[in-house]
Amino acid sequence: MLGLLKIFLRNRKAAAGLLIVLFYVTVALAAPIITSHDPNKRVSRPHQPPGVEYVMGTTRMGRDVYTQLVWGTRTSLMVGILAGLIVTLIGTVVGLTAAYYGGATDEALNFATNVVLVLPQLPLLLVLAAFLGQVGPLAIAVIIGLTSWAWGARVTRAQAMTLKNREFIQASQLIGEPVWRMILVEMLPNLLSIIGFNFIGSVIFTIITQATLEFLGLGDPLSVSWGTMLYNAKNASAITVGAWWEMVAPCAAIVLIGVGLSLLNFGVDEISNPRLRTLGAIGKAMKLQKKLDRERLLETEA
């Protein structure tokens, strides 16, 4: 376990990503400690610019942007992780089942996956949210989870298919291992990097999609999250009246967690696929070689 962590931290991208994500998790967990009042409490006059008392300024409603941002981190992370878990669970089960059983099961599951993949997702989510009325963060997490599993299922299936023909799987088949053992003990560990990739990608996607849905006014306006902050800022015409801080704070929070999670994901990708690494050492060696070549060329010409 410790060895794995060491490999992980040696990759600069993964380490930076992990640091950002840990920071967010800490903020979300420590929300009651690092804020002093309810996020929806009116503490000041509307649209106070950032200053000593309110580090990130106040909203049109006179609410403290910093407190809202901290509590919003809690909501957004929770929704992201919940939806990520649902997506990963469905995607992995569908992908593994299709790959393992093959034949008609594979045909049916693969067909379902492809259909979900070609449906326009955001419009569909918008319509679902519209029919359900203004929905809370948990409902949003479930809806996103249930509609976004297709990509993961496809990737998991493709990877599991390549595993199926490896010798150790065929050996376990010949020994007569039960199906559950073959899937859980032989195949699953070899799919972990792709499952992790799928999970982190889904968390990013969910956080972005949740913020988007809420920005469009389809969330519960009373819940505190980055999306409702954007929605309130839009309704208060924060941009046109020059209250940029009301808009910038949630935007920056979304961008930074997105960058952190992507860095983590690309780190994972590079660790499992060394070809993708941009190693400084290789670059330097190549440059040196070129220089030597050029000098040699000049020498022979002279």
Partner 1 sequence: MRFVLRRLAFYLVAFLVAATFNFLIPRLMPGNPADIMLAQAQGTIPPEAREALMETFGFINEPLHLQYLKYLASIFTWDFGLSVKYYPTPVIDLLTRALPWTVFLTGTATLLAYSLGTLFGIRAAWRRGGRFDSLVSPFALALQSIPAVVVALTALFVFAVSLNWLPTGYAYDPALEPGLDGAFLSSTLLHALMPVLSLGLVLVGGYLVTMRNNMIGQLGEDYVHLAEAKGLSDARVRYNYAARNALLPSITAFAISLGSVFGGSLITEVVFNYPGLGNLLYTGVIARDFPLIQGQLLIMTLAMLVANFAVDLAYVALDPRLRRA
Q: Phi and psi of 94, rounded to 5°? A: -65, -50
Residue 58 β-bridge partners:
64
Fill in the per-residue mask, 186 to 205: x = in contact with partner 1 (CB under 8 A), - = not in contact.
------------------x-
Q: Please report how close the Cβ of residue 56 comes to partner 1 at its closest, in angstroms.
A: 17
| Interface residue with partner 1, options 130, 179, 185, 292 (CB under 8 A) | 130
Burial class (CB within 10 angstroms; exposed 0-12, middle 13-18, buried 19+) of 108? exposed
Q: Please report how close the Cβ of residue 31 comes to partner 1 at its closest, in angstroms.
A: 23
| Interface residue with partner 1, options 275, 299, 300, 302 (CB under 8 A) | 275
- Residue in this structure with the two tokens 């490999």, named with its chain if needed: 7
Answer whether 113's CB lies under 8 Å from 173's CB. Answer: no
CA–chain centroid gap for 120, Å, is 20
Burial class (CB within 10 angstroms; exposed 0-12, middle 13-18, buried 19+) of 80? buried
Q: Please report how close the Cβ of residue 170 comes to partner 1 at its closest, in angstroms.
A: 27
Q: Please report how close the Cβ of residue 295 comes to partner 1 at its closest, in angstroms.
A: 20
**Farthest-apart Cα atoms in the chain, separation:** 81
Q: Phi and psi of 63, rounded to 5°? A: -95, 150
Q: Does 8 bind partner 1 (CB under 8 A)?
A: no
Residues, the chain? 302
| Interface residue with partner 1, options 103, 120, 176, 189 (CB under 8 A) | 120
| Interface residue with partner 1, options 7, 29, 192, 279 (CB under 8 A) | 279
Q: Does 161 bind partner 1 (CB under 8 A)?
A: no
| Interface residue with partner 1, options 1, 4, 104, 118 (CB under 8 A) | 118
Separation of alpha carbons 188 and 192, rounded Å = 6
Q: Which of 207, 166, 208 is nearest to 189 (CA)?
A: 166
Q: Does 244 bind partner 1 (CB under 8 A)?
A: yes
Query: Nearer to partner 1 by C-beta: 27 or 208?
Result: 208
Q: Which of 17, 20, 10, 22 is nearest to 277 (CA)?
A: 10
Fill in the per-residue mask, 200 to 239: x = in contact with partner 1 (CB under 8 A), - = not in contact.
----x---x--xx--xxxx-----------x--------x
Q: Does 261 bind partner 1 (CB under 8 A)?
A: yes
Residue 115 β-bridge partners:
none
The total of other beta-carbon atoms located within 10 Å of residue 298's CB is 9
Q: Which residues lie below 8 Å from residue 266, measured CB to CB, with a gap of 6+?
A: 13, 14, 17
| Interface residue with partner 1, options 123, 176, 180, 222 (CB under 8 A) | 123
Candidates 29-37, 64-72, 92-100, 277-285: pick the segment binding partner 1 (CB under 8 A). Answer: 277-285
Q: Does 266 bind partner 1 (CB under 8 A)?
A: yes
| Interface residue with partner 1, options 49, 178, 221, 283 (CB under 8 A) | 283
Residue 24 sits at the vertex; the CA angle it makes with 233 and 74, to the nearest 5 degrees, is 60
Residues at the interface with partner 1 (CB under 8 A): 111, 114-115, 117-124, 126-132, 151, 204, 208, 211-212, 215-218, 230, 239-240, 244, 247, 251, 254-255, 258-259, 261-263, 266, 275-276, 278-280, 282-283, 286
